[in-house]
Amino acid sequence: MTLLDGISSRRIATARLNVNLLERLGDRPDGIPVVLVHGNISSALFWQELMLRLQAGYRPIAVDLRGFGDTDPEPVDATRGLADFSDDLAATLDALELPAAHLVGWSMGGGVVLQYALDRPVLSLTLQAPVSPYGFGGTAGPDGRRLTDDDAGCGGGGVNPDFVARLKAGDRTAEAPTSPLNVYRAAYVHAGYSSPLEDLWLESMLSTRTGEDHYPGDAMPSGNWPGFAAGKRGIANAMAPGHFNVSAIVDLPVKPDVLWVRGDADAIVSDASFFDTNQLGKAGVIAGWPGEEAAPPQPMVAQTRAVLEEYAARGGTSREVVLPNCGHSPHLEYPAEFLAELTAHIEAASDDGN
């Protein structure tokens, strides 16, 4: 595991599993706790630059989720949605003796911290390019209406098998569109972005465990188009709408302040995502698409906005920040802008008494 100067790692025992953490050298235990939760096909390594940029007085902690990085590769029970991950996070904070923290979740990690907030108190929430509160795929409209009872077109069956094979093999080449490096370049960041740390981000992606208990998970046959449905194991299935729905955050009696940061060129989480099976069908990439009424693309951004608007209407505070010419990774692509928004958000939440 490659660490930048000023970052350390350690594995800690929790009540659920052994968890790997990244921390900043020299931070005080009483610093403002900022817990960073990565997304799918990544690890805590992606947070290192942000950790180093946070000013003194903060205590950034980046966590490897199960099946990623150096945390124990325990299986993922997809029928619990993302609760395996959020429960692991809770056990980690307990082991660190942190009753609450400012949580930052990226992509799938955004869903993890929202699930966490449903179960335990938090100081604030920052959602970076988060998965929709209604999961990934298989829903329609801003209200997240579920399209089929079996979540057809969702989960492990929709993941490109060549990409999975290249992940498993540790492929570091750019020889195919499905290589992890090319997926990073095409989907994680905006066109034209480059970084001298690209090899480190690739290392992070390649730490992903593959298989039916991890990424992508299993799949089930379906009588609905496109012929497969969400399974019960693994990461991709954990975000299927029948397993994952955190829209109940609008009902929290105590509502932490929410910051939502996204790029306007996000290829993964958008209202026309090419990682959404129904969008691929509409575009003719997958044959036999039954049409807009039966299988509309998921309006991921509109769904998040609708939930957060309702959250605010019920007494919470939320703010949306859209970065132009930005892809799925604002903290990498526009680090100064992301850092400014994050610290202002945490300071405002602290002023509110959180």
226-259 residue pLDDT tens: 999 999 999 999 999 999 999 999 999 999 999 9
Q: Do residues 51 and 38 make contact, with C-beta atoms less than 8 angstroms apart?
A: no
pLDDT attached to residue 317: 97
pLDDT attached to residue 353: 63
pLDDT digits 0-9 by tens, 111-120: 999 999 999 9
Helix residue ranges per DSSP H, the chain? 48-53, 83-95, 108-119, 161-169, 180-183, 198-206, 235-238, 277-282, 300-313, 330-333, 335-351
CB neighbours of 278 closer than 8 A, spacing ≥ 6? 137, 138, 153, 289, 295, 296, 297, 298
Buried b / exposed e along 145-176 (16+ C-beta atoms within 10 A): ebbbebbbbbbbbbbeeebbebbeeebeeeee
- The values of phi and psi at residue 227, to 5°, are 105, 0
Q: What is the pTM of this model?
A: 0.98
CB neighbours of 250 closer than 8 A, spacing ≥ 6? 307, 310, 311, 314, 316
- 352 pLDDT more than 90: no
Sketch out the chain's domains with CATH numbers: 7-351 (3.40.50.1820)
Token pair in block for residue 101: 């923290």
